[in-house]
Amino acid sequence: MRKSYLLRHFFLRLKAFIFLLLLSLLIFNTIPLSASSVEDETDEFTEDHSHGDIQRGERFFKGLLPTDRKFESCVSCHILTHSDTLNWNPSAMDIAQKFKGKDFAEFQSAVMQPNGKKMEASHKDFKIEEEDLKKVKLYLDDLAVTGPPSTGPTINQIVIFLLLGLLMTFALLDLIFFHKIKYRFVTVLILIVALVVQVKMVADAAINLGRSQNYAPDQPIKFSHKVHAGDNQIDCKYCHHTAEFGKSAGIPAMELCMNCHVLVREGANSGKFEIAKVIDANETKKPVEWVRLHNLPDHVFFSHAQHVGVGKVDCKQCHGAVEEMDIMKQTSDLSMGWCINCHRDTKVNFKDNAYYDNYMKLHDELKGGGIDTIRAVNIGANDCMRCHY
Amino acid sequence: MKTYWRSIEELANPKELRRDEVREEAKQKSMLMRGDTALNAASRRDFLKTFGFGIAAASIVASCKRPVDKAIPYLVKPDEINPGTANYYASSYFEGNEYGSIIVKVRDGRPIKIEGNELSSISQGGTSARMQASVLNLYDDARFKGPLKNGQEITWEKADEEIVAQLAALNSQGGKVVLLSSTVISPSTKEIIQKFAEKQTNTEWIQYDPVSASGILEANRMSFGTAFIPDYRFKQAKVVVSFGADFLGSWLSTVEYTKGYTAARQLQDGRKEMLRHYQFESGLTLSGSNADVRFPIKPSEEGAIVLALYNAIATAKSGQLLSGAPSSVDVSDLANDLLENEKQSIVISGSNDVNIQLLVNGINQLLGNYGQTIGLENSLMTKQGIDGDTDRLLSDLKAGNVKALLVWNANPVYDHPKGKEFAEAIKKTGLSISLSERPDETTALCQYVLPESNLLESWNDLEPKAGIYSLSQPVIAPIFNSRQAQATLLKWTGADVNYRDYIKNFWKETQFPKQKNTTDFRHFWNTALQNGVFETAQESKLTYSSDGISQAASQIKGAVSGIEVALYESVAIGNGKYANNPWLQELPDPVAKISWDNFAAIPVAYATENGLKNEDVISINGIELPVFVQPGQAKDTISVALGYGREIAGKVGDQTGTNLYPYIGIENGTRQYFLTSAKVEKVAGKVFELAISQTHYSMEGRPIVRETTLDNYIKNPVSGNELKAEHESKSVTLYEAPVYNGHHWGMAIDLNSCTGCGNCAVACQAENNIQVIGKEQVRNRRIMHWIRIDRYYSENPENPKVSFQPVMCQHCGNAPCENVCPVAATPHSEEGLNQMAYNRCVGTKYCINNCPYRVRRFNWFQYVKNDKFDFASNSDLGRMVLNPDVTVRSRGVVEKCSMCVQRIQEKKQLAKLEGRPIAEGEIKTACSQSCPGNAIVFGDLENPESRISKLFKDQRNYHLLEELHTLPSVGYLTKVRNTKA
């Protein structure tokens, strides 16, 4: 009797152990995956100057050299990593890319002879030895190839999940062997709460799988919708001009940017650096590769024309207060439930569009007073065939 | 009731066949479940692989980062291009001697679909299966990627330089240069060739067609003084007699003829008369299966029968009688029918024998058809090759008289009866240049390969019929480093002009003066380019003379004894140029319902006598071919399709079937597409598996084809459709009748207009991203076509009556599939469509089992990006053809006809934006849009004025399996045969 009891609990322990083992395996597998490096490509840049030079440049850039300069270090403005909040100054990576393959003189003149209000304010009377600046350039060239330092994966969720698992294991062990905690219901409570939290975490993760609400990636240009749509009151459809009649709202062609930026060459926030990218793109004939924000799954066929052109839905309703966003983000979760709820509520402009003349029965009911409004759902907006084919 | 059957086996014992089929189906499924145990048993290694994959997948999911998609805008956006919106450009198709005026759909810079151009008087908005499939040729990996010299890459500049130097050297020595091309119908190209010949003084241009119309051309040269193919106007005919000409399937201008033929036979809107069609032929062709009266004959009997018909008509017209071999068929009834319909009949022959064609001309002259149903003004230009020319070329080549050979768009090594001799001769020629788009048996032997662009990448002007012009325009920049053949020739003549400007200039000089609508050339050019066609009125001063006809009659030989083999072009593959096109390879032959192979079609009686059955192997003069027992095959004949057995075509076409071109005989200087006195033996113990789909998707003997005769129809329009009233009177239901508020989409199919050509199946495939699954899977009854064309036989197996019936999802109001789906993946829409949400489908296949129409298809495998299915969708290039508006289905989901819901949505959207109701005929499904028979009508059943509502009220209208009360949204109109009572 006693023996089988022990055996059973040994198996329970074993299960918990395997569970933990698997979870830790998960984490260890994750880390090397995200930390990819491109070391092999750096060789060509380190031919005629030592690794030490680059390091010195890096130290200078990061303000690590003991100097009595009264200036801020480069990195304090030109950050190395991607950030969640908009930093208007060009990042180190941006600068590195821009001056990659260009000669030192050009770099020097850009740094030492500030051009434009914004840059003048920060680079004014900037002093640096030419040798040091050369090393900074070397460092930046190197950076252009190696890419920004990688940030580790955010494992908070997994850590919490694991800790909860540990907690449960201890609770279980206490419940069976140690009996350190006097009241049994406390251990049971811990077990249950931890389990519920864990299930909730898994469920949330599963629901959000493939969804990306609040997704706000860094874009190749620090383009601010706030500046354009908010401060300068440019109509959405000026740039996204196919929204009313096309499936896609359209990303403006580079030439369209030039309609204004042929004159507007310096911005209040970012100075000349960001706008120069647009001008460069036009000159080098290489369009800017924006990071796509709103990604619907491939089996969803959404049409802007239907919503903006026919339904007269305000852009804000789905895209949020774009005019207040410096960094564009995905406001809605773009889930099917979200679509369907809106279709249930939205009233259709039934009388003024001759297309709906076909819907005679509904017109009769409207006249007869049987119904007072036609909502999108009443004319089949929630049929599968509307979006999936 | 009439008994319908689909194969000889079913006729013999339908129950046993059904049992066998069920068994076979079960076997296939269980094999799939089990896998091939010997090969696929999971080993320790497999376990480790799976385990490792599982861990890796889990860790990736744990660190789940969405892939970052880029959105790259235009630098300068062209005005007419809006991302996500298709553009349509008029162009022209002319390949393999087939012409069609087309509209190309271009999405985001990629041509993805071909439609017919309604402005053309020739194709009239129709297309053929080959035209539909041609868009896939553009994205074929097999195409040449750039110019080659002896198989090594070379630049265009270098190649031009070398060739021009060699040509100049030849010119100074007076060495002969031959340009061997397929028929050229481009007026500007002809001028370029002429210019080239002027510069290269000793140049000969030879046009060569693998399946030629030499007989007709030569006969008309004797009868009218010029070699031409007349303009057959089937629309105006009351009686058509065809001797072996498959004018609906492969003969000359099939789309045009189908349009006219079906127009003359349709009985909608109270029409009470229809064309009567007589067909004499050996194998059961598409035309033969549509004929009202069909005479199975041996190819060698044809001449004597034509002669007898001539004499019968001449007797009545008291003309001169001709003496010759006696006929085996009594043609007096036929002659009477023709005489009753003088000036309203057409007699044609597919024979390449000049004598037979001369007699046919004589008959048409006696009947007064010239100038009436057979026009002489707009002669057809699509076949110009004279057989004797290539034979002469071959002897010149062998003798070493030809110093340089340019081969453009021709493949004599494969498709000439003396292909092997051509191969030897080309190898010995001093300079051989190929201007071919893709590798073939001939290009492999040429020193230089200067690849020409695909027709969708090219400029061209065409004159398919005299006085009827059309333009081709590129719809995509050349994908590979190719150059149009015209541009190449222009370059060699030293002209520094691009071909577009050349055509434009040419049109300014030649076509612009022919019209009076505008005085501004730019306006004229833009209009012509936008319309794709420019048609002018023609006059003809040709007069008939009976020269040579009595001599022709005397040369007609009587029937020969022994087995004869008729060689024909199949509807899908044609002359073999498109053998590398997987859509066409998988399209089942309209009559035999076999894909992926050619086969020997043998008569039913012969099979019984010799103990042959399907998939046995016979040898015909030493060529081994799989047997297919074909009802309707004439006694003592065997039919085999040409165009198969390519050796250098690409991954799909290579070694598919057997090449029969080398067995074509030559008689009186023209190639004869049949063999007499063939030696046929059974190859004992050998079996060749064929992808036969004729008995797939059985409807268990229920009356789903309904037909009547014209006489009965005139007496009683409901005739043949009496069951409908009976079913409706008995209809009881527990379900509520479906209610439609705005639209109810439906489709009406006129069985009298459907010729069974298969265009709709390929059109649907192109529109809806339907995947090719290959021979083995077709055999396993998994063909994915959303629309299949069922072919039923009835009556006498030696000469059966044939009915075609396109079947797709019937979009039932009470759909049996809908209420068995456990995950609601296939609900009913408010617009009457039976929807299919692929991402909801979990693949239980309950719906497939519960569908009485067998129209649902299951993705048994991943057919895209899978090396095991190495067809069009296994490369990035091949996938360019996918329609971005339709989901590409993955493994494990069910799919079926959606009634092109993406097109419905698009047009609804447009109407809403413009604030107007949807216009009648505005929405067209892929199958209905390009149907050459106008057999399919799509529309809104809620609109009482619509064409489809009227057709649904037609007394010929019925639904499949009405007794089940599924309330289909698809209606069929009974087939009416015009047999003489």
Report ipTM for this prediction: 0.83
B358 in the same domain as B294: yes
Average pLDDT of the residues in B775-782:
88
Q: What is the CATH number of the domain that holds B373?
A: 3.40.228.10
Question: Are both B685 and B718 inside the same structural domain?
Answer: no
Residue B347 domain-assigned (yes or no): yes
Q: Clarify whether residues A27 and A166 are in a common domain.
A: yes
Q: Is residue B893 within 8 Å of residue B841, measured between CB atoms?
A: yes
Same domain, B687 and B736: no
- Contact between B567 and B663 under an 8 Å Cβ cutoff? The reply is yes
Strand A290-291 with B402-408, pairing: unpaired
- CA-closest candidate to residue B367, choices B291, B328, B309, B280: B309
Residues A23 and A160 in one domain: yes
pLDDT above 90: percentage of residues in chain A: 12
Chain B residues whose beta carbon lies within 8 Å of the beta carbon of residue A278: none
Same domain? B686 vs B712: no
State the total domains in chain A. 4
Measured in residues, chain B has a length of 981
pLDDT on residue B825: 92
Chain B residues inside the 8 Å CB shell of A254: 73-76
The DSSP letter of residue A229 is I
10 Å Cβ neighbour count for B518? 13
d(CA B347, CA B306): 10
Name the residue among B829, B909, B914 with its Cβ closest to that of A385: B829
A227 to chain B, any CB pair closer than 8 A? The answer is no
- Per-residue DSSP letters for B553-593? HHH---PPPSEEEEEEEBTTTBTTTTTT-HHHHHSPPTTT-
Q: Are residues B610 and B656 in the same domain?
A: yes
Answer whether residue B925 shows pLDDT above 80.
yes
Q: Which domain holds residue B859?
A: 705-977
Residues A52 and A194 in one domain: no
> What whole-number percentage of chain A has pLDDT above 70?
82
Nearest to B976 by CA among B761, B715, B734: B715
Same domain membership, residue B916 and residue B815: yes
- Alpha carbon dihedral A245, B70, B885, B457, in 10-degree steps, equals 90
B839 — contact with chain A (CB < 8 Å)? yes
**CATH code of the domain in which B584 resides:** 2.40.40.20
What is the reported pLDDT for B932?
93
B281 and B368, same domain (yes or no): yes
Q: Which residues of B touch A354 (CB under 8 A)?
A: 915-917
CATH number at residue B943: 3.30.70.20
Q: Span B285-314, mean pLDDT? A: 92
Beta bridge partners of B468: B465, B535
CATH number at residue A81: 1.10.760
Q: For residue B36, give the 3-state DSSP assignment.
A: coil
Residue A174: φ, ψ to 5°: -65, -40
Tens digit of pLDDT for each residue in B685-730? 888 988 888 766 665 667 788 999 999 999 998 988 888 888 888 8
- Whole-number average pLDDT of chain B: 89
CA distance A284 to chain B (A): 10
Amino acid A32: pLDDT: 38
Q: Which domain holds residue A52?
A: 40-146
What is the mean pLDDT of the segment spanning B849-858? Answer: 91
**Same structural domain for residues A79 and A129?**
yes
Interface size, chain A vs chain B, as Cβ–Cβ contacts under 8 Å: 182
Alpha-carbon distance B770 to nearest alpha carbon in chain A (angstroms) = 13
DSSP secondary structure, B920-935, as one string: TT----HHHHT-TT--
Residue A213: inside a domain, yes or no?
Answer: no
Average pLDDT on A190-219 reads: 82
- In A, minimum Cα distance to B827 occurs at A384
| Least confident window among A172-176, B356-360, B375-379, B837-841 | A172-176
- Tell me, yes or no, whether A214 lies in a domain: no
Mean predicted confidence (pLDDT) in B24-50? 62
The answer to whether residues B643 and B719 belong to one domain is: no
- Closest-CA distance, B902 to chain A, in angstroms, reads 6
Query: Do the domain assignments include residue B92?
Result: no
Segment B449-463, tens digit of pLDDT: 999 999 999 999 999
Taking the CA of residue A211 and the nearest CA in chain B, the distance in Å comes to 9
Residues A231, A368: one domain? no
Q: Are residues A203 and A246 in the same domain?
A: no
CB contact B908 to A (< 8 Å): yes
Examine residue A127 and state whether it is found in any structural domain, yes or no. yes
User: What's the total number of domains in chain B?
Assistant: 3
Q: Do A255 and B915 touch (CB under 8 A)?
A: no
Q: For position B159, what pLDDT does the model report?
A: 92
Same structural domain, A196 and A330: no
Mean pLDDT, residues A89-112 taken together: 82
Strand, helix or coil for residue A138: helix
Mean model confidence pLDDT for chain A:
79
Look at residues B476, B391, B545 and name the one whose alpha carbon lies nearest to residue B135.
B476
Which range is most confident: A200-209, A372-381, B35-44?
A372-381
B residues 63-102 closer than 8 Å to A (CB): 63-66, 68-77, 82-85
Q: Is the pLDDT of residue A150 over 60?
A: no
* A140-152 exposure pattern, b = at least 16 Cβ within 10 A, e = fewer: bbbbbbbeeeeee
Distance CA B942, CA B744 (A): 5
Dihedral angle computed from the Cα positions of residues B520, B522, B526 and B529, in that order, rounded to the nearest 10 degrees? 100
Residue B459: inside a domain? no
Could you tell me if A25 lies within 8 Å of chain B, comparing CB atoms? Answer: yes
Q: Do residue A380 and residue B918 have CB atoms under 8 angstroms apart?
A: no
Q: Do A289 and B70 touch (CB under 8 A)?
A: yes
The pLDDT tens digits for B615-671 are 899 999 889 999 999 999 999 999 999 999 999 988 888 888 899 999 888 887 788
Residue B7 pLDDT exceeds 50: yes
A291 and A376 both lie in a single domain: no
Please tell me the distance from the alpha carbon of residue B210 to that of residue B415, in angstroms, as a whole number.
6
A257 falls within a domain: yes
Domain co-membership, A262 together with A295: yes
Instruction: Answer yes or no: do B650 and B760 share one domain.
Output: no
Residue A216 lies in a domain: no
Residue A287 lies in a domain: yes
Which one of B71, B839, B916 has the shortest CB-CB distance to A355?
B916
Q: Is residue B929 in a domain?
A: yes
Of A75-84, B429-438, B496-505, the one with minimum mean pLDDT is A75-84
Q: What is the pTM (predicted TM-score) of this model?
A: 0.86
Same domain membership, residue B289 and residue B235: yes
Q: Is A116 on the interface with B (CB under 8 A)?
A: no
Kindly state whether residues B832 and B715 are assigned to the same domain.
Answer: yes
In a domain, B264, yes or no: yes
Judgement on whether residues B626 and B742 belong to the same structural domain of the protein: no
A165 with A120, same domain: the answer is no
User: pLDDT confidence of A41, banded at 50, 70, 90?
Assistant: very low
Instruction: Determine the pLDDT at residue A11.
Output: 61
Question: Are A51 and A141 members of one domain?
Answer: yes
Does residue B55 sit at the A interface (CB-CB below 8 Å)? Answer: yes
Q: In this complex, which of B83, B827, B885 lies closest to A384 when CB atoms are compared?
A: B827
- From A208, A234, A250, give the residue that closes a domain: A208
Mutate to test the interface with B, among A385, A387, A388 (most CBs of B within 10 A): A385
User: Is the minimum CB–CB distance between A288 and chain B shorter than 8 Å?
Assistant: yes
Of A210, A281, A361, which is closest to B741 when you measure between CB atoms?
A361
Which of B332, B365, B380 is a domain's end point?
B380
Per the CB < 8 Å rule, is B831 touching A361?
Answer: no
Residue B257 has pLDDT above 90, yes or no: yes
- Position A370 in a domain: yes
- Say yes or no for a CB contact (<8 Å) between B918 and A298: no
B31 touches chain A (CB under 8 A): no
Domain boundary among B349, B380, B411: B380
pLDDT at residue B15 is higher than 80: no
A63 and A106 part of one domain: yes
Evaluate if residue A7 carries a pLDDT over 70: no
